[in-house]
Homo-oligomer: A and B are copies of this chain.
Amino acid sequence: MPGSRLGRLFTITTWGESHGPALGVVIEGCPSGLELSEEDIQRDLDRRKPGSRLTSPRKEQDRVQILSGTFEGVTTGTPISLIIHNRDVRSRDYSGISRLYRPGHADRTYEQKYGLRDWRGGGRSSARETAARVAAGAVARKFLQVRGITVKAHTVELGGVRAQTLDWEAIGRNPLCCGDEGAALKMEERLLEVKRREDSVGGIVEVCATGCPPGLGEPVFDKLDARLAGALMSIGAVKGVEIGAGFESARMLGSEHNDPVLSRGYGSNRAGGILGGLSSGMDIVCRVAVKPIPSIGREQQTVTRDGTPAAIRVEGRHDVSAIPRIIPVCEAMVLLVLADFILHPFPWSPPLP
């Protein structure tokens, strides 16, 4: 089954390997009449770029190009094709490990599924694939903006250090996008320490959507939370998703968990802005568990393609944590799900005026 497509009305189809000539995305269903420029998209792509001492020193100069779907700076309603050329491809970084399975990677599962493997950097399982998601998410962001909806993510935990406060202003002021500047400093220290040990760490990212009207989502299998969970879990590094009080709900009483109903809105938001699978009008809040980057310089146990035990060190320019680069990717997934639902007509059937 094809798996590179997301959405029903606002849909995206991504393509491309990390070591091919380019990667990209076709966005279908974006309404016409929306102002859209390459700069609108580049802004989000740049947030995914490596660059600081905390992230990979690779110089991915991702420049996005719009190949179709706009005319005189405005969307026409037809498919928007975006392309990002791969400029910094060095196959030699990977060739040494082409005969070994990297632990924590999809090397062997891809080979088992497809009978062969593009060993140059992971093919479609490479994190580089997420550049196309971010580009598409930026288009969704533009569309949702005109509807008054904004989506923003931040780091709530990294390498065991947890943010204690949430200052939205602070997020933009530290490289880890954490809303607690004190915690951000400790997270940085933790990252540098782990880097020295040639290891990696995980963390937790929270995504918030504000301005959603009530009623987004569909009953039963296409609940808003179900679609968000599926979209966020589709990010390679994500191993858990929770909405509102999430796993904490498991330890609460009904009387603690239920949000009091007020004439406008609710007295708390343990539901995370979703009731019965439909948005409630409160902020939509989800959190994802991000696993440690599997590529580490430390020696690990593996086997060769013919099954012989072997030791492996994954050399090369790897991030210590998927955070903060995963943050715009998380935002993109939420943006894309919301754009899909916002396009759906609310199914009332009054006669036309």
Q: Which residue of B has the minimal Cβ distance to A8?
A: B1
* A32-B348 CB under 8 A given contacts A194-B253, A239-B247: yes
Measured in the bound complex, the distance between the Cα atoms of B26 and A246 in whole Å is: 32
Measured in the bound complex, the distance between the Cα atoms of B181 and A278 in whole Å is: 38
Q: Name the B residues within 8 Å of A28 (CB-CB).
A: 2-5, 13, 15
Measured in the bound complex, the distance between the Cα atoms of B302 and A17 in whole Å is: 49
Interface CB pairs A-B, < 8 A, 29:
A2-B79, A3-B218, A3-B277, A5-B221, A9-B344, A15-B68, A16-B67, A21-B67, A33-B349, A104-B257, A106-B277, A110-B276, A122-B276, A124-B219, A148-B352, A157-B250, A201-B252, A202-B249, A222-B234, A223-B236, A225-B233, A225-B239, A228-B233, A229-B241, A239-B247, A247-B247, A254-B295, A256-B292, A258-B292
CB distance from A97 to the nearest CB of B (A): 12
A351 interface hit (Cβ, 8 Å) = yes
B116, B277, B352: the one within 8 Å of A71 (CB): B116
* Copies of this chain in its oligomeric complex: 4
Tell whether, in the assembled complex, residue A302 and residue B261 are in contact, meaning their CB atoms are under 8 Å apart. Answer: yes
Residues 201-223 of A, flagged 1 when their CB comes within 8 A of B and 0 if not, give 11110000000001101111111
* A221-B6 CB under 8 A given contacts A146-B351, A246-B289, A301-B267: yes
Tell whether, in the assembled complex, residue B258 and residue A247 are in contact, meaning their CB atoms are under 8 Å apart. Answer: no
Q: Name the B residues within 8 Å of A54 (CB-CB).
A: none
Tell whether, in the assembled complex, residue B240 and residue A243 are in contact, meaning their CB atoms are under 8 Å apart. Answer: yes
* A261-B101 CB under 8 A given contacts A16-B68, A204-B250, A250-B157: yes
A347 interface hit (Cβ, 8 Å) = yes
Tell whether, in the assembled complex, residue B16 and residue A1 are in contact, meaning their CB atoms are under 8 Å apart. Answer: no
B15, B148, B301, B302: the one within 8 Å of A79 (CB): B15
A317 interface hit (Cβ, 8 Å) = no
A75 interface hit (Cβ, 8 Å) = yes
* Chain A, interface residues (CB within 8 Å), range: 35 or more
B78, B124, B249, B294: the one within 8 Å of A290 (CB): B249
CB distance from A276 to the nearest CB of B (A): 2
* A33-B115 CB under 8 A given contacts A104-B259, A229-B229: yes
B-contacting 9-mer, from A38-46, A169-177, A303-311:
A303-311
